[in-house]
Chains A and B, each alone.
Chain A
Amino acid sequence: MKNQKYLNMPDWLSSPENYSPVKQKNTFLQQNRGRLLNLLSLFSDKTETTSQPLNRQNSFIQLLTTITLILLTSLSRNISFIWIIYMYQFLQIALLPKLNMLTILKRIPINLVFVLLFILPSFFLTDAKTVIFFVLKTNLILIIVSYFMNTNTFFDIIIVLKKCYFPDIIIFIIDITIKYLKILSESLYAMTSAMELRSVGVNRHQYQSLSNLFGSLYLKTKSTALEMYSAMEARGFTGNYHFTRTKQRLNLSDITQTCITIFLITLFFN
């Protein structure tokens, strides 16, 4: 080999390491890295994970539909009508790709528990029938919302907000916050991984290490924010927020959905 420079390799580094770790229960980090991953996936755009264009509906129509459905549900006093919306919503969920379908379905029991917790006290005030009706309604609204969140990326939602003439600055703040949270959580994940990779034995100062980690994360967030702002200023950011819109044309499923919504509205008033 050419260019063999003389290099002072310390002895310990040029001989194999005979190290055997002691048995010990899993550390805080090892126990919680999985949980962190789950948390991380909250920030990732759901629709980006499925490349199927099948369900790509017009976000504007979807938002209108969602709002209409929520209104109808909350105003309705007719149990059969609520069931119809339930059925319609589940039909829509059933048409989603498996991954999205599962995330929505998994949420339902959790939502139900929360709704029950909040409503439980009123069991003692009114009759059970009213309470159950109310639980059904609240649960349905949550399903409708989570359907919307699962079929639209944050980016879609921002475009809809823009179409509804939301002020630029608010849209900008929402957009940046979401991206920022994602970057932040990814750094946190990467740092805990790095720490775990080098946690090869007993850490006598486990909690100090963790607090150091969060300390550097905090410093990082500060400088990331400042750097991002400078970068935007350097590129001439003035406060107007433009972005490329992909033209969303109405397709068959949008039209079907609109028809169904109109049908539900007429049903409501009958």
Chain B
Amino acid sequence: MFSFSNIRYGYTDKLSLNNINLSIKKNEFVCLLGPNGSGKSTLFKLLNGLIYPSDGQYTFNDQQINAHFFKNSVNAKKFHQQVGFVFQNSDVQLFNTTVYDEIAFGPRQMGFPEPEVNKRVIDCLTLLNINKLENRVPYHLSGGEKKLVAIASVLSLNPDVLVLDEPLTGLTAQAQENIISIMQGLHNAGKTIIMSTHNFTQIKDYVTRFIEFSENHTIVLDAPTKLVLTNSDLMVHLASM
């Protein structure tokens, strides 16, 4: 589904991603690990077409993803509907006046009639246990509440691929468990999930594949969970990150 070959990217002349080779198939549940500043968020931005590689090739469903691809508005819209992205910083992801409108933003754009939009919004609110936030102003919410609303607003688009940059950070244990079971449910429903976290132990029983970034902005480990779980040294290493 996604394929990166020899990708390099630098915001400045310092590289933030160095020689990334990676391919992700449909219905995988991938988790990125790695120290702060290793390039996880940068890879996600690249994946979502917010930035383009300085070097190397990125393809999605055999279609090359670059500025030219996004020039075509049909391509761009289809791509953004298929690939949903939850930012690491949910502060910047909310731009509507109420939580309801925030979640309805996507479905309304897709041209659903208002009853269908309403159904989607209520379903998402229920799924994330945030029904009581429905009429609040996103801006005034707490950090964790914002994160949940951001996730809901992406879910309402029903994307095939869900990219979540540290979705568990800043949430209560209960909310974290809920998010994990939602991701698991979506995975079981055939969707592709790509996430990042700093807590290996918490998600090791759910994801199907681990990718570890190093401080040099390269991938140092790319292994299916089955393999990771049988290697106790590796387990200790990943758990201590």
Contacts and interface: CB of A to CB of B under 8 A. Distances in A.
Interface stretch (B30-38, B58-66, B183-191): B183-191
A20 interface: yes
B217 interface: no
A13 B91 contact: no
Nearest to A4: B184
Interface stretch (B17-25, B71-79, B164-172, B227-235): B71-79
Contact of A212 (B74, B93, B97): B97
Interface residues of A, number: 52
A74 to B, nearest CB: 35
A79 interface: no
A12 B120 contact: yes
B95 A212 contact: yes
A204 B111 CA distance: 10
B95 A209 contact: yes
B12 A49 contact: yes
A3 interface: yes
A10 B103 CA distance: 15
A4 B182 CA distance: 10
A194 B184 contact: no
Using C-beta atoms within 8 Å of the partner chain, give the interface range for chain B: 35 or more
B220 interface: no
Contact of B154 (A24, A198, A209, A216): A198
Contacts of B2: none
B201 interface: no
B89 interface: yes
Contact of A198 (B126, B153, B182): B153
A190 B95 CA distance: 11
Contacts of A200: 77-78, 80-81, 106, 109-110, 157
Contact of A15 (B123, B157, B189, B206): B189
Prevailing SS type, chain B contact patch: helix
B109 A198 contact: yes
A202 B160 contact: no
Contacts of B14: 51
B136 to A, nearest CB: 13
B175 to A, nearest CB: 13
B87 A7 contact: no
Given A4-B184, A17-B81, A195 B95 contact: yes
A1 B206 contact: yes
Given A19-B110, A49-B12, A191 B77 contact: no
Interface in B166-207: 177, 181-182, 184-186, 189-190, 205-206
Nearest to B93: A194
Contacts, number: 138
A50 interface: yes
A30 B50 CA distance: 12
A24 B73 contact: yes
Contacts of A10: 119-120, 123, 127
A187 interface: yes
Nearest to B177: A5
A203 interface: yes
A190 B50 CA distance: 10
B238 interface: no
B92 interface: yes
Contacts of A194: 87, 92-95
5 contacts: A2-B205, A7-B185, A9-B127, A19-B81, A190-B89
Contacts of B48: 197
A195 B105 CA distance: 9
B210 interface: no
A187 B94 CA distance: 11
A7 B105 contact: no
B169 to A, nearest CB: 17
Interface in B76-133: 76-78, 80-81, 85, 87, 89, 91-97, 105-106, 108-111, 119-120, 123, 126-127
Interface string A1-34: 1111101111011111101111111110010000
A167 interface: no
